[in-house]
Structure 1
Amino acid sequence: MVPVRQPRTTAWAAAAVLVLLPAAAACSDDGGSGSASSPTPTATAPATPTTGAAPTGDGPADPAAAEQEVRENWTTFFDPDASTEDKVAVLEKGESLRPLLAAFGGDRNAAQTSVEVTDVQFTSPTQATVTYDLLVGGAPALPDSKGAAIFEDETWKVSVKSLCALVKLSGDAAPPGC
């Protein structure tokens, strides 16, 4: 008898291990803000601060513009066609993770992984909870995942902890500090 495989779990595990395992060494808990209870992916357009999206009081001055920026930047981060430069610009502490992001650029498995942001909830002037679907080959592999966006350097970015949460899901990775 052939064991029945769980396609969603298998696809996600394969994508996570092959695409995100190199991130394990780069993830650290060095005071990075934001939290993630599950993975964090997606990307499309380069990060450019949105006028009026800066935080004030209990949240962004322009929540609609800030939400649009979060969605665009998450999409960019997980866009297999986005340049390393674009990904560095939309990841918290991205410059320090440039070598990791450059390694993703040449990985054929990374070309199959993307995200679709389904909800953004601002939890403070500089943080938001992001709900997203992780897609592998365009099909949902990890629906309704939670991650975080961080307002850093006048830009809403994917949190490092969200990236580390995805690495942890592979089951094979035990990244230090994540």
Structure 2
Amino acid sequence: MVRARVRGAALAAAAVILIVPTAVACGDDSGGGDGGTPPEPSVEKSSQPAGGGAEPADPAAAEAEVRENWEKFFDPEVSLKDKEAVLENGSKLRGVLEGFSGDERGEQVAAEVGKVAFTSAEEADVTYALTLKGATALPDAAGTAVHQDDTWKVSVKTLCALVKLSGNASPGPGC
């Protein structure tokens, strides 16, 4: 019971820290939302089992790049331009990134990648934890990385799943 409350509080804190500024940037004039429980901080994983498809030519180098770029994306010290470079279709999601990066609470959030499992030569499932001031706020979150323009990037699906944690029925353009 206590663990459930702590997890609920952590999810709420992460949603406020990460999502409120993003939801404002995305805008939702519908006033929507079903008032229900927000979705888990996960995205659909590939239907192909890890190892069942082709891997990148150099899996070790690809994994290192996924980890580096994932952590860069969530690093408050990284510029908006550099975050765009490690987000799938990053320039199209500038408004979302500005909201995400412009909030002072966002300066206290980081990501720690736990596991990278390639599902193809162009996609990987990523298990990660979001931390707030060094304390884990969202453990074992799931997302995906995609290989786009010769760079491993945080997928749009991952960013949109985090935006949806706010309960925003319409996460905005690009999601």
Which TM class, normalised by the smaller chain length? 0.7 to 0.9
Segments of structure 1 that go 5 or more residues without pairing to the other structure are 27-36, 41-56
Structure 2 letter corresponding to 1:158: V
- Tell me by how many angstroms 1:19 deviates: 3.6
* Equivalent position of 1:14 in the other structure: 16
> Is 1:93 aligned to residue 96 of structure 2?
no
* Equivalent position of 2:149 in the other structure: 153
- Tell me by how many angstroms 1:39 deviates: 4.6
Q: Which has the higher helix share?
A: 2
1:79 is matched with which residue: 75, 78, 100?
75
* Equivalent position of 1:110 in the other structure: 106
Q: Could you state the TM-score of these two structures normalised by the residue count of structure 2?
A: 0.75
Structure 2 letter corresponding to 1:148: T
Aligned residues: CA RMSD: 2.4
- Tell me by how many angstroms 1:24 deviates: 4.1
CA distance in 1, matches of 2:76, 2:61: 24
Deviations 1:20-73 (A, max 9, x none): 3246459xxxxxxxxxx7358xxxxxxxxxxxxxxxx80111101000000000
- Tell me by how many angstroms 1:78 deviates: 0.5
Identity over aligned residues, as a percent? 52
Deviations 1:77-112 (A, max 9, x none): 000110011101000001112233234333101111
CA distance in 2, matches of 1:163, 1:149: 11
* 3-state SS, counterpart of residue 107 of structure 2: helix
Matches within 5 A, 1:1-178: 6-22=8-24, 24=26, 38-39=41-42, 58-171=54-167, 173-175=168-170, 178=175
Structure 1 letter corresponding to 2:170: P
* 3-state SS, counterpart of residue 22 of structure 2: helix
* Equivalent position of 2:47 in the other structure: none
Segments of structure 2 that go 5 or more residues without pairing to the other structure are 29-39, 44-52
Aligned residue pair count? 148
